[in-house]
Amino acid sequence: MQKKQIAVGVVVLAIMGYLYNLPVKGLIKPKEAKSDKTNVMTGNRKAATAVTVDMVSAPAKAAIGAALAAKINDLEGQLKNASGTGAAKLQQQLAAQWDDVNQPAPAAFYYQALARKDNKAQDWLNAGNRFNDAYKLTQDTLLQPAFVTSAAEAFQSALKLTPESLEGKTGLGIAYVNGAAGPMQGIALLLEVVKKDPNNWNANLNLGMFAMKSGQYEKAVARFKTLLAQKTELEPTFYLAESYKQLGMKKEAIDAYQKCKEMMPDPTFGQKIDEYIKELRN
Contact 242, 212 (CB under 8 A): yes
1-20+198-267 and 36-181 in the same fold: yes
Residue 2 has pLDDT above 60, yes or no: no
Residue 145 has pLDDT above 60, yes or no: yes
For residues 151-156, give the mean pLDDT: 98
Q: Would you kindly state where each structural domain of the chain is located, as residue ranges?
A: 1-20+198-267, 36-181
Of the CA atoms within 13 Å of residue 58, those in its CB half-sphere come to: 4
Contact 194, 207 (CB under 8 A): yes
Residue 267 binned pLDDT confidence (cut-offs 50, 70, 90): confident
Burial of 34 (0-12, 13-18, 19+ CB in 10 A): exposed
**Residue from 66, 74, 131 nearest 101 by CA:** 66
Q: How far apart are CA 105 and CA 98, in angstroms?
A: 8
Residue 75 has pLDDT above 60, yes or no: yes
Q: How far apart are CA 280 and CA 270, in angstroms?
A: 15
pLDDT (tens digit, 9 = 90+) per residue, 165-181?
Answer: 999 999 999 999 998 67
For residues 248-268, give the mean pLDDT: 90
Residue 20 has pLDDT above 50, yes or no: no
Residue 4 has pLDDT above 50, yes or no: no
User: 272 or 7, which is more confident?
Assistant: 272
Q: Is 74 in a helix, a strand, or coil?
A: helix
What angle is formed at CA 207 by the lines to CA 203 and CA 210, rounded to 5 degrees?
140
The amino acid that residue 70 corresponds to is A
pLDDT (tens digit, 9 = 90+) per residue, 96-142?
Answer: 999 999 999 999 999 999 999 999 999 999 999 999 999 988 889 88
User: What is the per-residue pLDDT for 13?
Assistant: 58
Residue 47 has pLDDT above 60, yes or no: no
Least confident of 14-23, 44-53, 100-109: 14-23
Tally of CB atoms within 10 A around 89 = 15
Residue 6 has pLDDT above 70, yes or no: no
pLDDT (tens digit, 9 = 90+) per residue, 219-239?
Answer: 999 999 999 999 999 999 999
For residues 254-273, give the mean pLDDT: 87
Q: How far apart are CA 274 and CA 8, in angstroms?
A: 18
User: Residues in the chain, how many?
Assistant: 282
Q: How far apart are CA 49 and CA 82, in angstroms?
A: 23
Residue 17 binned pLDDT confidence (cut-offs 50, 70, 90): low
The top-level CATH class assigned to 36-181 is: mainly alpha
Q: How far apart are CA 39 and CA 133, in angstroms?
A: 25
Taking all residues of the chain, what is their mean pLDDT, rounded to a whole number? Answer: 86
The top-level CATH class assigned to 1-20+198-267 is: mainly alpha
- Cβ partners under 8 Å of residue 224, min gap 6: 204, 205, 208, 236, 237, 239, 240, 243
**Residue from 234, 200, 174, 243 nearest 11 by CA:** 234
